[in-house]
Structure 1
Amino acid sequence: MTTPPPPELLHGRSLLDLPADLIPEILLRLPPHDPGNLVRCSAVCKPWRRLLTDPAFLRRYRKFHGAPPMLGFMFYLELPRDRFVARFVRTTPFRPRALDHRGCYVRDARHGRVLFSNVTNEETKHDLLVWNPVTGERWGLPLPVFRGMEWNVTVLCAAAAREGGGECDHLDCHNGPSLVAFVGSDEDGTTCAYVYSSEAAAWSDAAYAELPDDLTVMNMEPCTLVGSRIYCLAAESTTIVEYDLARRKLTFIDWPLSYQGRAVLMPAMGGGLGFAGVRGSCLYLWSRETGPDRTATWTQSRVLELSTLPGRAPLKEPTTVGFAEGLGVIFVRTDAGVFAINLKSGRVKKMSSREGIYHVIPYTSFYTPDHATG
């Protein structure tokens, strides 16, 4: 580690000379999206290091800042000779021990974990891989016994399966028990769901439901989690698959009737399920709301004009490619690259100029000195 800079002087006094009760208040406000600040401060002196690795302070730090920051995002690359690699792209100084995962297709990331499907078995013979970028730990699991070809998987903290989403705030649960939810459909028109528990090291019994008539093949986009319910978008139909983790029950929802094309699912800003898609040069947002008669319907909540995005004009074929849960950030791919749009502030940031990115899987987690030295 490089030698830390000398303590900053404030009107002739060092930061180390400040009252002891003031130091935690200052360090508490260091921004989590630049985790290097905390790590460097932990090297200033032993008292600061003890403070910045103290579990009580770190719990307070995470609670103060709320949702974990996005440390990077992942997508997959197709290489020559039918080879694949899942790549981690840094958006902060945080650098995991591995940026590339050969032979893998990134499927999901949530609660400090990343989930891959193993496409070519280059590095391991496991069907699915769960990776913790903070610790570098990676472990594998098999697929459940399944007759179909189309399926999707989601990784999450085990507490999220409890009714209402559990008691975990998911601010630092990346080392705790985890679940992998599997949802698939077969050619006979049946959807099934299984849940793998890291504690039991086994898949649950299957839950079954008959597919709607218009859904014969489920080529599903990345899922989203709302409370204890997982939602999967069947890209070749107008059907959303809902799997209630707490009740182990499958149901089906129609998406907004007025929209056709590629879309992403997300938690709505006001709660419940959200839906986003591009038509022309506009990004349309819907939320699923329950009326007084307890009937749920889609309501268009916002329309954002994409022609104001930075880059070449006019933009060609913009499309949604991902969403960062907890941050309210949606990713849109255009001919000028991939952009992140913060739905709360309206800020736009260009994330990549690379072509051929079809899914952006954001990785969000706190990275603090206790992790850096663990």
Structure 2
Amino acid sequence: MASPLTEIPDHLLAEIFLRLPDSEDLVRTSLACVSFYRVATDDSFLRRFRRLHAPSVLGFLQAGGIFRPTMPPHPSAPAARALARAADFYFSFIPSRCHWTVQDIRDGRVLLARDLRQEEWALAPVFRDLAVCDPLHRRYVLLPPVTHDLAASLEHPFPMVRPARCKPFLVPLGEEEAAAGETAFRVILVAHCITSLAAFVFSSSTGQWQAAASKRWSDLGLGERDMAEMSRVHPFILSRHYAYGCFYWDWVEFGRKKLLLLDTRKMEFSIANLPRRKWSKVGIAIVEAGEGRLGIFGFHGETSSNLSYMVARDKGESPSQWQSEKTISLDSGYKYFIRDATQRYLLLTKIEASSLENPLVGYFSMDVKTLQLQRVHDVPQYLKYETHTYINFPPSLLSSKRI
């Protein structure tokens, strides 16, 4: 005799499944029977589920393929432990004798760039080889090289260190793109040149690179001092943020209160101003505050124990008016640094301020919606490398039937 559960229509099953606490519960539910699996892996259902449920913080990835999984008592710890066992974060599944370094992570996918050997730097190309991979399912896509015509379009690239002046990163997919297929992805490559900026875009749907945006530093409305500083700073050490279809880079660490902005809808560079505050050098984070308004988390002055949250009063990518929303009091006697930010979480480090050696206490995540602070991982020493938060399980690059 058929179970009463199997007689529930699919649309009611979908409504029930939407109310499951997290994606791990959805995975377990999908394994119960064929009908549950069919509903739980439907593309339209998964899009609804992901809009309603914040993705899990599964850990963070550091230089050299070092994955730090989220530790107990964090609720994501069991899933993070399973990911650490199953995934290959040394990327040994890519059939290449070269070494790859992590450039960006988004939705569980990792963007890699090929390291150059010392003897290659003298004749280094403008752009390095890139690959997008799925370390969980051990699948990858090698991106074609940027064509010579596009490389030749750069105005005055920095000599000898040209690859270091080009920074690639993954682009979040819009709802229409996600609806077209979860195997799709886009990569943007921004080149910092002596006199100008340029952006190139690779789309997995076309399999080609295209020139997307170009702007002279002198056309960004900057003063001479700001223009000289912003064009000279190494792009790898700039903090990058994403909100409402725009990427932002900040120069807070260098005392500048300007943001470089790339609108991925118009594909245009511009400059935006930070709110008039004495921002600390320990980092800021630009997030989506809701209703099309930007939010900024940051520390002020020399202290780093009170985290401030400001929200723009007006909508748009370059608001002019801001209001203080909340001040989050953190433990006194410690220094906090913003190491990374995603669309939903901040990744903070906590360091003892009273000790001369400043030992690292741990890494913490903060939900930008609930402001809940949770310990993610303990690391014995502070490592000043790029830190990429690993969020959610990746959709496979070759098959969209994954949760």
The answer to whether the superposition gives a TM-score over 0.5 is yes
Q: Distance in 1 between matches of 2:181 and 2:250?
A: 27
Confirm whether residue 241 of structure 1 aligns to residue 243 of structure 2: no
Letter in 1 for 2:289: M
TM-aligned CA deviation for residue 217 of structure 1 = 1.5
Where structure 1 has 5 or more consecutive residues not aligned to the other structure, the ranges are 1-13, 78-83, 161-165, 308-312
Of residues 299, 310, 317, the one that matches 1:278 is 299
Of residues 167, 174, 181, the one that matches 2:176 is 167
State the secondary structure of the residue aligned to 1:223: strand
Q: Distance in 1 between matches of 2:180 and 2:66?
A: 24
Q: Distance in 2 between matches of 1:131 and 1:64?
A: 24
Confirm whether residue 152 of structure 1 aligns to residue 167 of structure 2: yes
Q: Distance in 1 between matches of 2:108 and 2:180?
A: 8
TM-score when normalising by structure 2: 0.68
Q: Which has the higher helix share?
A: 2
TM-aligned CA deviation for residue 353 of structure 1 = 0.9
8 Å Cα contact 1:154/1:180 also seen in 2: yes
8 Å Cα contact 1:86/1:105 also seen in 2: no
Counterparts of 1:222-241 in structure 2, within 5 Å, are 222-234=239-251, 235-236=253-254, 237-241=256-260
TM-aligned CA deviation for residue 230 of structure 1 = 1.8
CA pair 218-277 structure 1, distance change in 2 beyond 3 A: farther
The match for 2:341 is 323
8 Å Cα contact 1:33/1:71 also seen in 2: no
Aligned alpha-carbon RMSD (Å):
3.8
Where structure 2 has 5 or more consecutive residues not aligned to the other structure, the ranges are 71-75, 93-98, 118-126, 159-163, 352-360
Counterparts of 1:85-124 in structure 2, within 5 Å, are 85-87=65-67, 89=69, 91=76, 92-93=78-79, 95=83, 96-101=86-91, 103-119=99-115
TM-score when normalising by structure 1: 0.72
Q: Distance in 1 between matches of 2:33 and 2:216?
A: 60
Letter in 2 for 1:267: V
TM-aligned CA deviation for residue 251 of structure 1 = 0.8
TM-aligned CA deviation for residue 111 of structure 1 = 4.6
8 Å Cα contact 1:171/1:366 also seen in 2: no
The match for 1:127 is 129
Letter in 1 for 2:176: E
8 Å Cα contact 1:275/1:287 also seen in 2: yes
Of residues 329, 332, 349, the one that matches 1:305 is 329
Confirm whether residue 203 of structure 1 aligns to residue 209 of structure 2: yes
8 Å Cα contact 1:276/1:283 also seen in 2: yes
Q: Distance in 2 between matches of 1:117 and 1:323?
A: 21
Q: Distance in 1 between matches of 2:6 and 2:319?
A: 58
Q: Which stretch has the larger CA shift, 330-339 or 16-25?
A: 16-25
8 Å Cα contact 1:240/1:255 also seen in 2: yes
Q: Percent identity?
A: 18
8 Å Cα contact 2:107/2:393 also seen in 1: no
Q: Distance in 2 between matches of 1:19 and 1:139?
A: 40
Of residues 284, 290, 305, the one that matches 1:264 is 284
Of residues 325, 339, 345, the one that matches 2:364 is 339
Letter in 1 for 2:134: N
TM-aligned CA deviation for residue 365 of structure 1 = 3.8
CA pair 201-20 structure 1, distance change in 2 beyond 3 A: same
Q: Distance in 2 between matches of 1:51 and 1:290?
A: 40
The match for 1:182 is 189
Write the deviation string for residues 298-331 of structure 1: whole angstroms up to 9, x where unpaired.
4433221111xxxxx721x311111221x2x212
Number of residue pairs aligned between Structure 1 and Structure 2? 329
State the secondary structure of the residue aligned to 1:296: coil
The match for 2:29 is 41
